[in-house]
Each structure stands twice: as C-alpha cells, then as structure tokens.
Structure 1
Amino acid sequence: MAETTAVAVPRKGRPLEAVLERVAARADATELADSIISTLRYEKAITKGRAEDPRNVYERLADYSDLGHPHRPEFTLLRDDRDGLPRRVVFDSVTVETETGPIQLVGREEPFRSLRTHSFAFGFDSADLVLEEVVALRPEPLDSIADVNARIDPHDTDVRVVTGLGDTVHHTLMATPELLDSYRADGATRKFVAEYEGELCISPRYERLVEAVLGTDVMQDVEFCYPGDGQEEEAGIAETGVGVYLTMTGGTARDHGLELGTQLFPSETVLMENVEESTDGDAAVTALFGDVETELAVQ
C-alpha cells in the first residue's frame, strides 16, 4: 500500500476552495469537494448572520464529521474574532485516493509557516504570504509568481513555490482621474508611481508586498497610508488619490471614482514545497496539483 502524503491547506476561504476544486477535477472527488465547500460556506453564512440553524455549533460539528470513515471529511472548531469569541466550524482533514497514492489534506491556520518549520513537505497558501515574509526587497519590481523563487534567500527558508492554481485576483494600482491629470500621467502605471511624490493608500498587512512588486527605487518619495477604521479600501484610496488593492472586476473601485491601472501582481493560491523534507515518493502531490503549463522550477 502506498504511503499517505500529508499536505497542509488553509482551514477556510478562497485558497482552500481552490485546492478542493483541483482535487475534484483530477481525483474524481467532485462530491467530496462540493460537500466540504458547501459546509464551510454555510458556516460562514451563520457566522455573518445570513443564516440560522437550530443546532448549536457542537451538534453541527458532530453531524458534519464522520470519524469512523477515513475518506470522509473532518471538521474542527476555532475561536472566531467576533464579539464574545464564539467558536466557528472550519476544515480539519480528509484523505483522497489518487492514481499515484493517497493524499491527506490537513487544515492549518498558517500552512506556509507549517512548511517553514518543517512540519510538512508540501502545502498551499496565498502567494501574498510568501512576499510578505521571505521575498527579498530589491530596486527592480517583482511582477510574476515565476520570479518569486529567485527572490527567496536559501539561508532564510527551504520553502519554494512549485505552481499556482489559477484562482487569480490582482493587486492593482488605481488612482483618481484628478491626480493623474495633475501629473499629466497616461493612466495609473508604474511610470506614474515613479514620478509620484506623496501618500499611497494600501491595506496595512501589504506593506512589504507592495514594496516588493513596485520595487524599492520608486518608493523613495512615497509614503504608505491606510484606510480609516471601518472604511473600505477603495474609499481610502479615493481620499488619498492613489493606492493598491485587490481587484477582480474593479466595480467597487469604479464606484468610488477610481481609474484602474496596472495589475501589479497576481494574488493566487500556490503549491509550495519544503525541498529538504520532500522525497521521491511524494510524486502523488505534484501529479495531482502540478500543471505543465504553469509549473515553476524549484531553485
């Protein structure tokens, strides 16, 4: 019997759904993936007050999890950050049979850091976290996932990016037409930022990411600022005049009178490998999740 390979995945959210959708497509596990996704979406609706359930959270957890069946999903409870710190149902684990061997998806709050501490050989997380934690800042901009590994110091971590899953939204540069006109800029571009002096509005957690994708050279006369408490990012950018935020359609940005500009970097769920922990027997992971057209060379 082939040995089971453990893969760290997020406990909830878009990155976990991207992993499950890839499993559904390549491991004949559509029903399993759909059941996990629908359960977590339902629990999110309860958390947000958009749905009600007569069962308490412990009763729901018992109904969702079947500990006696190795190939049924398990869920667990975590404290939520809402008032009173209530418990929330999140993904815990499931084992999936593949043509090259069984894979166990294991939920972790911070999969990337689980790989950094050598707890797993493989894992999935947002590419954003790699930029925020280990990618070196350089004068030239970073604009593709394919270039991430070259920016990772091998003395800092053994983790490398293998491939992306294509669930892409973009960190996009945006600005008000008035500010662009004052600089006689031909749109919100990297060239505009290089000439710009002043505040640039971003989410606080993205300081290092934005500096990496813009490059340190253009940041010399730029100072980060942030939306006010409870304020939408697009609203804060509109007040500042220029900023960077995630966009899918850009509709909210346009509603605030912003002009969408250069897509600076893709925010995408990525498969990562700790090259010191993986073995030749872990081919099941790359066979299931790898993509010939987008797979990256591990350096």
Structure 2
Amino acid sequence: MSRTVPVAVPRKGRPLEAVLERLATVADCEALADSVSSTLRYEKAITKGTTEPEHGPYERLADYSDPTDPEAPEYTLLRDSRDGFPRRVVFDSATVDCGDTKLQLIGREEPFRALRTHEFALGFDSADLVLEEVVELQPEGLGSLAEINQRINPKDTDVRVVTGLGDTVYHTLMAMPELLNGADLDRAFVDAHTGPLCISPRYERLIEAVLGTDVTDDIEFVYPSEDAEEEAAIADSGLGVYLTMTGSTAREYGLVLGEHLFPSETVLMENASEGGETVDQIKALLSEAVEETELRVQ
C-alpha cells in the first residue's frame, strides 16, 4: 500500500515551478507540472494586467477543477495585495505518485514557517527566507547554500536545508562606474565603502548575513520608492544589491554588475525532528536528480 507524505510548497511563482520541474524528473508527472505552471502563469498575467480574463475568478476556479479526478490539481482563491484586494487564483494541492510513496503537495504562503511550526516534515521555499528568519549574523558573510546549516542555531529551529533545486538567481552587486573609479566591484569594495547601499525593503537582515556585520557597520541602507524600479534607485544611490539573471535592465541604467553575492534559489528543507524512514526515502529521491552542485547537505 502506498504511503502518502504531505509536503509544503509555495502557492505560486518561480519556486513552485522549480518544485514541479524537479518532481517531473523523478516521477511521471510532466502533464501535471505543465498544467499547474501554465495555469498560474495565466493567472499571473491577469494579476499584472497584461491579460484580460473572459471570466471572473470564481468561474476560472471552477474551470480549473475536476472533482471526478482525485489526482487532478486543486486551486484556491486568496486576497491579492493590489488596490481593492481582488481575489487571485493560486495553487492549493496535488498528489504525485512516486512509486511506493505518494507526495501530497500542499500550498502554503510561507512553507518555511510551516516547517518551523512542525506542520510538515518536508517542504520547499526560497533560501532567502531562511537567511531572513534564522541564519545567525556573524562578522564574516556567507556566499553559498552549503554554509546555511552551519549558521542555524539548533535552539532556534529544527529546520535544515537538504539541497537546492538549481533555479538560481543571484543577489548581485551593482554600481555606477564613476563610484568604482576603476576598482573591482566585490565584497572588498563594499567593505571599504561608507555611505548608502540601496536594497529592496525588508532585506536588511539577508544582506547583513550575506555581507557580514563587519562590512555593513559603515553602510547606510536606502530603499527604492514604491513607484521606482530597483535598478533605477541603485543608479541614483550609486551602489546596491539586487537580484539579476541577465543584468540587461541594470545596464540600461548605466550600472556595472559586480560579484554574485548569494544564490536566491528554491531549496528542499526538512524538519529534523519530524523525520523517519519514509522521509529519508523522499529526500533521497528528490536529491538524486541534483548534479554536482555546491549543496548536498546531509
């Protein structure tokens, strides 16, 4: 008889797509992964205002549902943060057959916190949130996923990172060339810098963990205004940190791209106190598709 293991996953966005892509490599769920990803991309386009839906959210929710199929994905409605707080369709749950074990993917707004409160033994979330929540701040910064568990105080949480999924977008240093004056844009440059460092709001603790408290002692964190692009705000302040894939937008504002400080990547996590033989098997299954990357924590 198949065992069912609940796993906390994000409700939308790049992290959920990364989870579905990983599962599609180890289980026969390509159709499910494609269906969920395409549905949520369409819903994101509606949220962004680039697509005008023919039906309201309740009608769309009914269209996506198949109550006769227990294996079909389910969706739910959440209040969006846009003006008027409209309803938004997001992922709710799905079951993936992994042979002797079935994974019940359960959507959560904050999977990491659901693991911290012992609701789940396994879950996926952004590595950024681990840095923001529990990684200890130390004089030296950290630059890889493999260092995360070393910075978690066992008294704070039982959650540990197992492996990354490879959907890497880097927190990258950016600066105007006149500020550099020919110097390399790296951690050493920031260490010698005194003055503003432009970052996204609420990322102070993440940046302090990545750069280290010695580097950030003389830094003044500044933030983009609500209607400004992050790259534009960094150009105005001269120096900053922001997520980048190609860096094309940053270059449009005349910024130079420097050192990749830390990978913003979806990670598989476990609550060590909730584990067991079945959880270990699932961890091994979800980790086996990982090639030689910087993180294979056991």
Normalized against structure 2, the TM-score is what? 0.96
Give the number of equivalent residue pairs.
Answer: 295
Query: Match for residue 90 of structure 2?
Result: 90
Cα drift, residue 62 of structure 1: 1.1
Q: 2:81 and 2:62 mapped to 1: Cα distance?
A: 23
Query: Match for residue 103 of structure 1?
Result: 103
Query: Match for residue 292 of structure 2?
Result: 293
Cα drift, residue 117 of structure 1: 0.3
Match of 1:236 among 230, 233, 241: 233
* 1:1-299 matches, cutoff 5 A: 1-181=1-181, 185-290=182-287, 291=290, 293-294=292-293, 295-298=295-298
Contact 2:195 2:219 in 1 (8 A): yes
Contact 1:6 1:122 in 2 (8 A): yes
Letter of the aligned partner of 2:261 in structure 1? L
Letter of the aligned partner of 1:193 in structure 2? V
| Runs of 4+ with deviation above 4 angstroms | none
Identity %: 66
* Secondary structure in structure 2 of the residue aligned to 1:14: helix
What are structure 1's unaligned runs of at least 5 residues?
Answer: none
Query: How far does the alpha carbon of each residue in 1:43-79 deviate from its partner, in whole angstroms, 9 at most, with x for none?
Result: 1112222222322211111111123322110000000
Contact 1:149 1:161 in 2 (8 A): yes
Q: 2:296 and 2:157 mapped to 1: Cα distance?
A: 17
Letter of the aligned partner of 2:191 in structure 1? A
Q: 1:51 and 1:292 mapped to 2: Cα distance?
A: 38
Contact 1:98 1:284 in 2 (8 A): no
* Secondary structure in structure 2 of the residue aligned to 1:285: helix
Q: 2:131 and 2:84 mapped to 1: Cα distance?
A: 33
* Secondary structure in structure 2 of the residue aligned to 1:4: strand
Q: Which moved more, 1:283-292 or 1:10-19?
A: 283-292
Contact 2:136 2:151 in 1 (8 A): yes
Query: How far does the alpha carbon of each residue in 1:226-266 deviate from its partner, in whole angstroms, 9 at most, with x for none?
Result: 11221111111111110100000011111111110000000
Query: How far does the alpha carbon of each residue in 1:148-174 deviate from its partner, in whole angstroms, 9 at most, with x for none?
Result: 000000000000000000000000011
Contact 2:125 2:266 in 1 (8 A): yes
Contact 1:95 1:103 in 2 (8 A): yes
Normalized against structure 1, the TM-score is what? 0.96
Q: Which moved more, 1:278-287 or 1:188-197?
A: 278-287
**Alpha carbons of 1:100 and 1:107: their partners in 2 closer, same or farther (altered >3 Å)?**
same
Contact 2:2 2:99 in 1 (8 A): no
Contact 1:100 1:284 in 2 (8 A): no
